[in-house]
Structure 1
Amino acid sequence: MSASFVPGATPARTVRLIGAPTDIGAGARGASMGPEALRVAGIAEMFTRRGLTVHDTGNLHGPNNPCLPPQGGYRHLDEVVAWNQAVHDAVHTALAAGELPVLLGGDHSLGIGSISAVARHCRATGRALRVLWLDAHADFNTHDITPSGNLHGMPVACLCGDGPSALVSMAGHVPAIAASSLRQIGIRSVDEGERHRVREAGLEVYDMRYIDEVGMRAAMDKALAGLDDHTHLHVSFDVDFLDPEIAPGVGTTVPGGPTYREAQLCMEMIADTGRVASLDIVELNPALDVRNRTAQVAVELVESLFGKSTLMRDRG
């Protein structure tokens, strides 16, 4: 563990919950119900148990899902832009107020607005940015290689400067983030054209093959290396990161993901840094869930992300 890490050092602060009830960027309907499922699973109460003040601002508003086919390689581009602008503004407001924004999604296209706001804040405050992208998918498609046109498969590409101008420029700087600031963890579903682009961009990817070979601890040691007091750590947690055996309530399940224990270790190691400053929880689809099980698992893991630990021995 790096000497700059401060185990269990998540400081007392205010968490701002921001609901974004839309599945506008997804192929399957239902992620729009994700924010309420997380609330029902007790996310606000969990943060209170962790000693944090909770400010639930309710849900943002945006256009309905028109369920139209893609145009020019994008489905619902105008609507996705509107939702992401609303997310950007809400996240940026929370950061400016000294609060920790937690985006309750909603599909993962919303990560464009959320991370664009974080990147804008980091540039204004002179902080470095590290983004941990916990996901089964690389989300690095573009309009000319996407098999579906769904924008929840393109947020990383947009953040790295490749996408429609309204999304690419949302942070006030193009690209919003450098590819070198991103670490992708748990990846196991990548389209062939997307695979080439990921390699070309030099994204740092700890896929399931790598995790199988070296273990979650070694993968996270690498993903977290180099963090210091001047780094803003953003976690973008797509619930399909988890194996569908423990998290069936997502629209794009991919077998072979992290087990509960692997995911908990991942979250605990992130918590050990004491650097988490913003969070997305996305792609939860209650329409495909069983008795809100996936939302409950997500809340349990986020509690580990904010300091709940299974560790009984002394660190050393």
Structure 2
Amino acid sequence: MKKLSIIGMPMDLGQMRRGVDMGPSAIRYAGVVERLRNLFDEVHDLGDIPIGRPEVVIDEQSNLRNLHLVAEKNEALSKEVDQAISSGSFPLVLGGDHSIAIGTLAGVSKHYKSLGVIWYDAHGDLNTAETSPSGNIHGMPLAVSLGIGHKMLTSVGGFEPKIKPENIVLIGARALDEGEKELIKEIGIKVYTMHEIDRLGMTKVMEETIEYLKERTDGVHLSLDLDGLDPHDAPGVGTPVTGGISYRESHLAMEMLAESKLITSAEFVEVNPILDDKNKTASVAVALMGSLFGEKLL
């Protein structure tokens, strides 16, 4: 019995550009429930985690934007994700900015001894309050999940760390801050930058990723930021970086993950309909979900 639980996390508190809070609505409008009903025995849309309309608050001590609220809302998300997995359901989280991964990973990692993570993104999201040029928490969730960062964030879910550096594969990186580059080298995270994707081809990158994670993990979470794709294919994102992964390469990656049967949870984040062209980016997200969950052309 294949069950899917869709959880909306309409949070834009982790960064400065408004609009990404409408991401879950845009993805639903693009037909996610109808599309995935064909691929699961049961699809439950659990609605959205309530965020409200909070004022922007910058924490004086850490200089982090909306620190308390981001921690509080991610705590709520982690409980929802935890419950979905406990009920035998595959959790699919719709973002929202990438700071929501703090809550998703807190909920997911309770169920695995050695959780793997595929971070499909133009950015490393490995900043801390000390290395971040902006204080935006959406640039920190991977570091936070490794137990690196502000205690209020690393302790979401009641334990830390959620993941180990050797269980992470970062795919599509092309905009890394200096502090992130140092951390990647220091703790040994496997990274496929756009250089590797161009040089090796997406088939090889995904074969190596699947092989690498299969050996060492008991579950794999996919965290897909739509800015991992080239802005030509996914224009509706807050922090676009040119020279990204193509639409077709992304479908191939998702199809290979579907075949591998490795993925046990997923989130699709940073869809911003205000910056989009006729809901194109949300439609791309839904199409990629179709491929991830085993949709076939023939």
TM-score band, normalised by the shorter chain?
over 0.9
1:35 aligns with 2:24: yes
Q: Are the aligned partners of 2:116 and 2:163 in contact in 1 as well (CA < 8 Å)? A: no
Per the TM alignment, residue 166 of structure 1 is displaced from its structure 2 partner at its CA by 2.2
Q: Are the aligned partners of 2:3 and 2:90 in contact in 1 as well (CA < 8 Å)? A: yes
Q: Are the aligned partners of 2:23 and 2:270 in contact in 1 as well (CA < 8 Å)? A: yes
Q: Are the aligned partners of 1:137 and 1:187 in contact in 2 as well (CA < 8 Å)? A: yes
Give the letter for the 2:251 counterpart: Q
* 1:31-70 matched pairs, under 5 angstroms: 31-69=20-58
Q: Which of 118, 136, 156 does residue 122 from structure 2 map onto?
A: 136
Per the TM alignment, residue 193 of structure 1 is displaced from its structure 2 partner at its CA by 2.0
Aligned residue for 1:19, secondary structure, equals: strand
Q: Which of 264, 268, 286 does residue 255 from structure 2 map onto?
A: 268
Q: Which of 70, 77, 93 does residue 83 from structure 2 map onto?
A: 93
Give the letter for the 2:14 counterpart: G
Q: Are the aligned partners of 2:122 and 2:175 in contact in 1 as well (CA < 8 Å)? A: yes
1:117 matched to which residue of 2?
107
Per the TM alignment, residue 227 of structure 1 is displaced from its structure 2 partner at its CA by 1.5
C-alpha distance in 1 between matches for 2:240 and 2:91:
27
C-alpha distance in 1 between matches for 2:193 and 2:157:
28
Structure 2, unaligned runs of 5 or more: none
1:18 matched to which residue of 2?
7
Per the TM alignment, residue 290 of structure 1 is displaced from its structure 2 partner at its CA by 1.0
Superposed structure 1 runs of 4+ greater than 6 Å apart: none
Aligned residue for 2:110, secondary structure, equals: helix
Give the letter for the 2:108 counterpart: V
2:141 matched to which residue of 1?
155
Per the TM alignment, residue 229 of structure 1 is displaced from its structure 2 partner at its CA by 11
C-alpha distance in 2 between matches for 1:215 and 1:188:
16
Give the letter for the 1:172 counterpart: G
Q: Are the aligned partners of 1:47 and 1:53 in contact in 2 as well (CA < 8 Å)? A: no
1:247 matched to which residue of 2?
234
Residue-pair matches, total: 296
Comparing 45-54 with 143-152, greater Cα deviation is found at 45-54
Per the TM alignment, residue 164 of structure 1 is displaced from its structure 2 partner at its CA by 1.4
C-alpha distance in 2 between matches for 1:78 and 1:172:
15
Q: What is the alpha-carbon root mean square deviation over aligned residues?
A: 1.6
Q: Are the aligned partners of 2:120 and 2:223 in contact in 1 as well (CA < 8 Å)? A: yes
Residue identity over aligned pairs, in percent, reads 41
C-alpha distance in 2 between matches for 1:249 and 1:70:
29
Give the letter for the 1:48 counterpart: R
1:9 matched to which residue of 2?
none
TM-score w.r.t. length of structure 2:
0.95
Per the TM alignment, residue 52 of structure 1 is displaced from its structure 2 partner at its CA by 3.6
Give the letter for the 1:22 counterpart: M
* CA spacing shift, 1:115–1:292, aligned 2, 3 Å: same
Per the TM alignment, residue 138 of structure 1 is displaced from its structure 2 partner at its CA by 0.2
C-alpha distance in 1 between matches for 2:97 and 2:216:
31
Q: Are the aligned partners of 1:70 and 1:149 in contact in 2 as well (CA < 8 Å)? A: no
2:68 matched to which residue of 1?
78
C-alpha distance in 1 between matches for 2:16 and 2:3:
34
